[in-house]
Amino acid sequence: MKELIKAKDPDFIPLYREKLYEVQERLKINGKPDLALMHDFSPGLYMRRLLIPAGTFLIGGTHKTEHLNIAMSGSAHVMIDGEINYIKAPHVMKSGAGVKKVFYILEDMIWATTHVTEETDLDKLEETLILNEQEEKETYFKRLNL
């Protein structure tokens, strides 16, 4: 019988990320959920708000920079590197660069991310702030020597 690897073990994170990518690939078969997305800008700040209905399972993108997340309404279980947290709005948390979150939405939620930037072009913001799938795998697995 194979021994379980726990979240605090050094071998956990590489295995966790590898399995998470497998799940992400399987979810692509069903397509992305249809979620309302809003963009807000003020001098030096970009906020992206996502309206997520209850019952949604969602794997977030991997951000390149540290930023704030705000649960403006609703509640969810959020898994970060294998640790599951219950989050109920209002809630603010700091998210480090390279973090990948998995959400199960319990109550309709408005989730916001904030980023320090002067950019307002959405395509450039996506390129600047979020690792694309290939970059994510190359960057993360190179760092882990996988």
Lowest mean pLDDT among 10-14, 62-66, 100-104: 10-14
DSSP summary character for residue 90: S
Q: Name all domains of the chain by residue range, CATH numbers in brackets.
A: 33-131 (2.60.120.10)
pLDDT of residue 15: 66
Q: Give the chain's mean pLDDT.
A: 83
Q: At 100, is the pLDDT very low, low, confident or very high (cuts 50, 70, 90)?
A: confident
Per the CB < 8 A criterion, the answer to whether 56 and 33 are in contact is yes
Q: What is the pLDDT of residues 24-56, one digit of tens each?
A: 676 666 666 678 999 999 999 999 999 999 999
The whole-number average pLDDT for the span 95-99 is: 87
Q: At 7, is the pLDDT very low, low, confident or very high (cuts 50, 70, 90)?
A: low
Concatenate the DSSP letters of all residues of 103-145 into one string.
EEEEEEEEEEEEEE-S---HHHHHHHHB--HHHHHHHHHHHTT
Which residues on adjacent β-strands are paired with residue 39? 48
Lowest mean pLDDT among 42-46, 67-71, 81-85: 81-85
pLDDT of residue 84: 87
Per the CB < 8 A criterion, the answer to whether 125 and 78 are in contact is no
At residue 44, the 3 state secondary structure works out as coil
In 10 A of CB 77, how many CB atoms?
A: 14
